[in-house]
């Protein structure tokens, strides 16, 4: 399987983890089974387990999905995420 196909599968998995609570619960208790079901290379498992941003980037995980993935691994992080200053930052100088 090509690297681009693995990247696509990985990014789709993260999207599903965010939107499908039952899959997210299974992933957190049996990651290897979910990776096998979704066709993701088992060699990716250590990087996914660590949640390390550099390792996730090396797998090709989109940066925005890396943030979502962090919230899958550590749900308490969502309480600290904000876009409160986004409108100010997006204005032209």
The mean predicted confidence, pLDDT, of the chain is 89
Task: Output the pLDDT for position 85.
Answer: 62
Q: Is the pLDDT of residue 89 over 70?
A: no
* 25-to-73, 75, 84 alpha-carbon distances in Å: 10, 12, 29
Q: Is residue 64's pLDDT more than 70? A: yes
Q: What is the pLDDT of residues 71-84, one digit of tens each?
A: 999 988 777 766 66
The pLDDT assigned to 19 comes to: 94
Measure the CA–CA gap between 30 and 23, rounded to whole angstroms. Answer: 10
Instruction: Find out whether 14 and 40 touch, Cβ atoms under 8 Å.
Output: no
| Listed range (20-24, 30-34, 63-67, 73-77) with the worst mean pLDDT | 73-77
């Amino acid at each position: 399987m090509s690297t681009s196909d693995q990247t696509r599968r990985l990014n789709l998995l993260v999207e599903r983890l965010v939107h499908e609570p039952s899959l997210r619960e299974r992933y957190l208790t049996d990651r290897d089974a979910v990776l096998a079901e979704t066709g993701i290379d088992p060699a990716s498992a250590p990087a996914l387990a660590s949640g390390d941003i550099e390792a996730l980037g090396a797998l090709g995980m989109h940066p925005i999905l890396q943030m979502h993935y962090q919230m899958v691994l550590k749900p308490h992080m969502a309480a600290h995420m904000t876009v409160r200053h986004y409108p100010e930052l997006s204005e032209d100088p």
